[in-house]
Amino acid sequence: MSGPIALVTGGSSGIGLSFARQLAQQGYDLVLVARRRERLEQIAQQLIREHQIDCRVEARDLSDPDSIKDLVDALDQDGVEVEVLINNAGYGLAGAYLSQSWQRHDQFIQVTLSAVFELTHRLLPGMKQRGKGRIIQVSSIAGFLPGTAGHTLYGAVKAALNLFTECLSLECKGS
């Protein structure tokens, strides 16, 4: 990878794919992270063909607590320096809070909050050291409103993500 590098979680569909396309159009080399390797490879080939960028595919299940460390270790080993981080991976759980097992809730929290916190923590020092970088946390208006029935944990997680992002912005001001 020779140009500036952007890492996009949840880069195989939806908002993450839109970010990947926009970043590729702007000349960023990409690291695309999602669970479905085949889908990521199809997207990578398309973006490489259309925008003459480099694109690295990292098929990772972010519900695995070791996935972020393993991902960043692999990037560090290959000298990949991420300049733009798009924390986008996520999903919702349908149904009332007690209709889901704790394991499902725990996986949801791991993907939508813990992975965001850890990936930010692991990549931010390099950005600060290099004197450049950007982080976008994809959240939701649900983080600013009381939850609706069937979305109890989603709103709570997004509220935490919003507050984390605001505090991190203040902490990094001027850097």
The catalytic residues are 154
Residue 30 makes CB contacts below 8 A (sequence gap 6+) with: 5, 6, 7, 8, 11, 20, 23, 24, 44, 47, 53, 54, 55, 56
Coil, strand or helix at 35: coil
24: which strand partners?
none
> Which strands form 134-137's sheet, in the order they lie side by side?
55-59, 29-34, 5-9, 82-87, 134-137
